[in-house]
Structure 1
Amino acid sequence: MNRFAFTRRRWLQASAAAAALPARWAGAQKNAVPLPALGAPYPLAVVPLLDGGRFEPAQADGRALVLYWWASWCPFCAQQSPEMQKLWAAQKDRGLRMLALSIDKSAEDAARYLRQRGYTFPAVWNGTDVARAFPKPDGLPVTVVRGKDGRVVQAEKGQLFAEDVADLARWV
């Protein structure tokens, strides 16, 4: 894709996002932080998964980790999440790690949404304790890739298209 098409697509995406977000968006942004800087270390913490398991930082040692903040009510997340599932299914056996962080009002809402759609990527509810360990960057959806060396190699806010999500496999 040429540079102009990429820039125009991002501009259109940002314009649509600004015009279409639901009212609850404002509440979700209260504690947002800036996107992490490329090259910055990204520390991890132990957090409980919605399926009853736990995410352990050691699971990501020497592996790429995709962090994906989303919400069941977000129309852009609804389009990106199926692509994240495809990425997870195709790359988990190659070493990709993923942690999807729901900002829904409750863990039950997030878990029900994942079940109804058949999503199997590891997910947590970004409640108080998890939000302290993994503060949500400004925007939604947000995708941050922590490289094999523990440093941020990519950070995006706003919806990624199918080809953008597929391209995350380059970090594996």
Structure 2
Amino acid sequence: MQHPDRREWCRSAAALLALGAASAGARAAEPLKNVPAIGSPLALPDLPLLEGGEFKAAQAKGQVVVVYWWASWCPFCAQVTPSIQKLWAGHRAAGLQVLGLSIDQDPAAAKAYRARRGYDFPCGWVTPAVGAVLPKPQGLPVTVVRGRDGRVAAAEVGQLFPEDVEQLARFL
């Protein structure tokens, strides 16, 4: 018997968790809400960053941007975020941008979490104004790559392995 690819298994498991599948019934899988489709335009808002400063959407024009929704209380995010930090640190000189979006209810909790772990990739907090431009997709974490053309090049819901996050650099 062949074993399924672990990446595909994790994606399937994350999708089921995000949908709140309570049983193995015959309910058809529904698409996840607000996960942008590959090839669709992805607008970015100007937003204040947790540690000060501001993310300016105009500065991201023509750049590859990894948009990463996360929360300090999310166990899957705790596994992915170190890889997002490593991706940014290793490829920012080549023009890769990362925009973290914390969905914590209190931005102070997100800021403290990042400080304890030494994360310094740009990160804002999802306010209603930010959510109007970039609605939080269903599930956590969510990782979306916006290509140089402003369109979605990749979108992943759920935990990614370090090698999967590193592969996002291929869009540079």
TM-score by length of 2: 0.84
Q: Tell me the CA shift for residue 96 of structure 1.
A: 0.3
Look up the match of 2:125.
125
**Matched-pair identity in %:** 51
Amino acid at match of 1:122: P
State the secondary structure of the residue aligned to 1:99. strand
Q: Which runs of 4+ in 1 moved over 4 A?
A: 12-19
Give CA deviations for 1:25-64 in whole Å, capped at 9, x if unaligned.
xxxxxxx842111111111221111111000012211110
Amino acid at match of 2:112: R
Residue pair 2:34, 2:135 contacting (<8 A) in 1 also: no
CA distance in 1, matches of 2:158, 2:17: 10
CA distance in 2, matches of 1:141, 1:84: 11
Note closer, same or farther for the CA distance 1:112–1:36 as it changes in structure 2 (3 Å cut). same
Q: How many residue pairs end up in the alignment?
A: 159
CA distance in 1, matches of 2:4, 2:126: 36
Amino acid at match of 1:144: V
My pick for the range that moved more, 94-103 or 123-132, is 123-132
CA distance in 1, matches of 2:145, 2:89: 17
CA distance in 2, matches of 1:8, 1:51: 36
Q: Tell me the CA shift for residue 9 of structure 1.
A: 4.5
CA RMSD of aligned residues (A): 2.2
Q: Which has the higher helix share?
A: 1
CA distance in 1, matches of 2:45, 2:89: 24
Note closer, same or farther for the CA distance 1:16–1:45 as it changes in structure 2 (3 Å cut). closer
Residue pair 1:72, 1:110 contacting (<8 A) in 2 also: yes
Look up the match of 1:48.
48
1:134 aligns with 2:134: yes
CA distance in 2, matches of 1:68, 1:135: 12
Give ranges in structure 1 of 5+ residues lacking alignment: 20-31
1:39 aligns with 2:34: no
Note closer, same or farther for the CA distance 1:42–1:18 as it changes in structure 2 (3 Å cut). closer
1:94-133 superposed matches below 5 A: 94-133=94-133
